[in-house]
Amino acid sequence: MKNRKRAMAMLLSTMMVMGAVAGCGSSSTDSGNAESKSAETSAAESAGTENDDNGGGASVEDTGKTIAVVAKGESHAFWQSVKSGAEAAAAEKGYSITFRGPASESAKDLPSQKEMLQTALSSNVDGIVLGTIGEGFTDMLAQAYDKGIPVVQFDSGVWENDIKALDEMGKNPIVSHVATSNTLAAGIVAENFFAAIKEDIAASDGNYVVGIIQHDETQTGIDRAGGFEEKFIELADADETTKGKYKIEKEVKPGDADNAYKAALEALYEKGAKAIFMSNEGVVKQVSDAIAAAGGKYDELKFCGFDAGTKQIEWMKATSGAKLVGSVAQDSYQIGYDAVMQCINAIEGAAVEEKVDIAGAWWDASNVDEMKEKNLVYEG
């Protein structure tokens, strides 16, 4: 079959060259050569399939296997970066992936995400990468176990109650968890933020208020707020100039509906907050809008954030008004890449890492452009 393809390609090339010579005078030589070159290229591409079949060149043999990635979102820049990493890992190993996510990470879209997972199971995919926006996935994940489909949880992963139920059933298909360590990443924020406001605390009247806006009541929100608070207290209490001269106030919200984060900002302002940690991009956006609409009301406050996004970048680069000192970025591309790689390892019977912590990175006005080039800070 391969020899026949080569022979047909060569015949086609010869016929096209002869046709070009017969139908053209000397003034059309360039055109005839172009047609001949095109035919030769087609022949080479046809014959080149033999090299691909034999694994030659940079191509990777298609395994025919598919991994379903069911994320907490799809259109946001963060998830698009995750998707790019997932696709790169799949292509590297000759796998195909499907990538789907609900319209939002709120409870109203939970049925949609459950349907996406059920579709993947019904399609008998070879592996699943999953990050859920709520509880109630126990039965479907038990199906994955029964079908022998390995599951890698990523980002905030699968909720704890679902995992406990699977363990009790003896049907837990989850082989790995790939994510930013929210606790450690928030600790990075605390270290840099403390350094930025340390002198302010030391010079205060002994009642410097540091605020925390926790974006929701999920484990992600808990870990980020807790990680920041724990590290900040550790640092401030270890320094004689700040020990005993501050207190922390926290506002915990169930989500961003009804301008909840704007309300949290105002509540902390009323409590005398001078510096505020915002635990995700959604908080940063709402707080930024509130500051812009309030004139100079919040200009003396200092802020720090989490994640990235266009609004956060613009605020970071601003030279007046309330100061956004810095933020911590997740390596969303690497999260997608490593999650799919761990899933492939499980499918192929290779070693799987039970927990893969992706490091976060501090970014501020001094390195934002460099971080964008490295795909650690995204716009959108």
Quick check: is 378 in a domain?
Answer: no
**DSSP 8-state symbol, 107:** G
| Same domain assignment for residues 314 and 197 | yes
pLDDT-above-90 percentage for the chain: 74
Does pLDDT of 44 surpass 70?
no
pLDDT tens, 317-355? 999 999 999 999 988 889 999 999 999 999 999 999 999
Does pLDDT of 364 surpass 90?
yes
Instruction: Tokens 């309330």: give the residue.
Output: 322
Residue 26: per-residue pLDDT: 32
| Same domain assignment for residues 113 and 208 | no
CA 19, chain centre distance (Å): 55
| Same domain assignment for residues 325 and 336 | no
Output the DSSP codes for 194-226: HHHHHHHHHTS-S-EEEEEEE--SSHHHHHHHH
pLDDT tens, 179-203? 989 999 999 999 999 999 999 999 9
| Same domain assignment for residues 207 and 249 | yes
Count the Cβ atoms, other than its own, within 10 Å of residue 111: 12
- Distance CA(344)–CA(93), nearest Å, equals 8
Residue 163: per-residue pLDDT: 97
Quick check: is 58 in a domain?
Answer: no
Quick check: is 59 in a domain?
Answer: no
Does pLDDT of 36 surpass 50?
no
User: How does residue 60 score in pLDDT terms, banded at 50, 70 and 90?
Assistant: confident
| Same domain assignment for residues 146 and 243 | no
Residue 374: per-residue pLDDT: 78
| Same domain assignment for residues 187 and 325 | yes
Does pLDDT of 232 surpass 80?
yes
| Residue 258, CB-side half-sphere exposure with 13 Å CA sphere | 4
pLDDT tens, 140-185? 999 999 999 999 999 989 999 999 999 999 999 999 999 989 999 9
Residue 97: per-residue pLDDT: 97
Highest averaged pLDDT of the listed ranges 3-7, 53-57, 244-248: 244-248
- Distance CA(283)–CA(261), nearest Å, equals 6
Quick check: is 379 in a domain?
Answer: no
Cβ neighbours of residue 139 under 8 Å, at least 6 residues apart? none
- Least Cα distance to 330 among 373, 368, 362, 296 occurs for 362
| Same domain assignment for residues 112 and 216 | no
Residue 129: per-residue pLDDT: 98
Quick check: is 113 in a domain?
Answer: yes
Quick check: is 61 in a domain?
Answer: no
Query: What residue type is assigned to position 143 of the chain?
Result: Q
| Same domain assignment for residues 240 and 305 | yes
| Same domain assignment for residues 119 and 195 | no
Torsion, Cα of 232, 236, 238, 240 (10° steps): 170
Does pLDDT of 306 surpass 80?
yes
Domain count, the chain: 3
- Mean pLDDT for the chain? 86
Quick check: is 60 in a domain?
Answer: no
The two three-digit tokens of residue 162, written as one number = 């679902």
Residue 14: per-residue pLDDT: 38
Does pLDDT of 51 surpass 60?
no
| Same domain assignment for residues 108 and 122 | yes
**DSSP 8-state symbol, 254:** S
Report CA-CA distances (Å) from 46 to 2, 12, 59, 258: 9, 11, 15, 60
**DSSP 8-state symbol, 359:** P
- Distance CA(115)–CA(117), nearest Å, equals 5
Residue 178: per-residue pLDDT: 97
- Least Cα distance to 377 among 321, 306, 319, 294 occurs for 306
**Helix 138-147 with 110-122: angle, nearest 10 deg:** 10
| Same domain assignment for residues 112 and 230 | no
Q: Which residues of 277-297 are buried (b: 16+ CB within 10 A; e: fewer)?
A: bbbbbbbbbbbbebbeeeeee
Q: Are strands 66-70 and 127-130 parallel, antiparallel or unpaired?
A: parallel
pLDDT tens, 105-133? 888 999 999 999 999 999 999 999 999 99
Residue 220: per-residue pLDDT: 87
Q: Using CA of residue 7, residue 10, residue 14, residue 20, what is the dihedral sign?
A: positive
Residue 35: per-residue pLDDT: 36
Residue 327, H or E segment: strand 323-329
| Same domain assignment for residues 135 and 187 | no
Residue 331: per-residue pLDDT: 85
**pTM of the predicted structure, to 2 decimals:** 0.65
Residue that finishes a domain, picked among 13, 30, 53:
53
- Distance CA(315)–CA(192), nearest Å, equals 17
Contact predicate 78/330, CB 8 Å:
yes
Contact predicate 192/363, CB 8 Å:
no
Domain that holds residue 197: 183-329
Contact predicate 126/67, CB 8 Å:
yes
Residue 58: per-residue pLDDT: 56
Residue 359: per-residue pLDDT: 75
- Least Cα distance to 272 among 205, 208, 324, 212 occurs for 208
Higher local confidence (pLDDT), 74 or 56: 74
Q: What CATH code is carried by the domain that includes residue 94?
A: 3.40.50.2300
Length of the chain as a residue count: 380
| Mean pLDDT score, 69-82 | 91
Residue 12: per-residue pLDDT: 38
SS3 150: coil
